[in-house]
């Protein structure tokens, strides 16, 4: 899965393509973080405003990719646990900010 992402920012909507160049859909950037000298981006399926309201109380799927040379690449199997642990820390920090704590 590749998408040229040189200047991603939180809230950006991007379209991901599969390895054959077929569009997979639109995804929103929900977190960006560094771990062990590598940059990562977390995405969730972009929803229409009315769908987003309904999804607030439901769990959503989050996909994490390493950003390497401006291109998103899938995680290596041996780095998944550490990356998802760091993502949980980042998302907890975002939730605390949203709640004004």
Delimit the domains of the chain by residue range: 12-93
| Statement: residue 6 has pLDDT above 70 | no
In order of 33, 34, 68, 83, 99, the CA distances from 37 in angstroms are 10, 6, 11, 12, 30
What is the side-by-side strand order in the sheet with 23-35? 13-17, 23-35, 38-45, 63-68, 71-74
pLDDT of residue 2: 43
pLDDT of residue 4: 47
In order of 18, 26, 30, the CA distances from 41 in angstroms are 17, 15, 8
What number is the average pLDDT over the span 1-14? 71
In a 3-state reduction of DSSP, which class is residue 62? Answer: coil
pLDDT of residue 8: 85
Q: Which two tokens stand for residue 44?
A: 């969730």
């Amino acid at each position: 899965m590749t998408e040229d992402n040189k200047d991603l920012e939180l809230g950006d909507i991007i379209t991901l393509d599969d390895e054959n160049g077929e569009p997979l859909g639109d995804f929103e950037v929900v977190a960006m973080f560094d771990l062990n000298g590598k940059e990562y981006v977390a995405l969730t399926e972009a929803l229409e405003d009315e769908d987003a309201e309904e999804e607030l109380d439901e769990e959503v799927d989050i996909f994490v990719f390493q950003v390497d040379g401006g291109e998103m690449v899938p995680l290596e199997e041996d780095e998944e646990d550490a990356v998802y642990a760091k993502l949980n820390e980042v998302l907890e920090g975002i939730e605390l900010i949203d709640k004004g704590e």
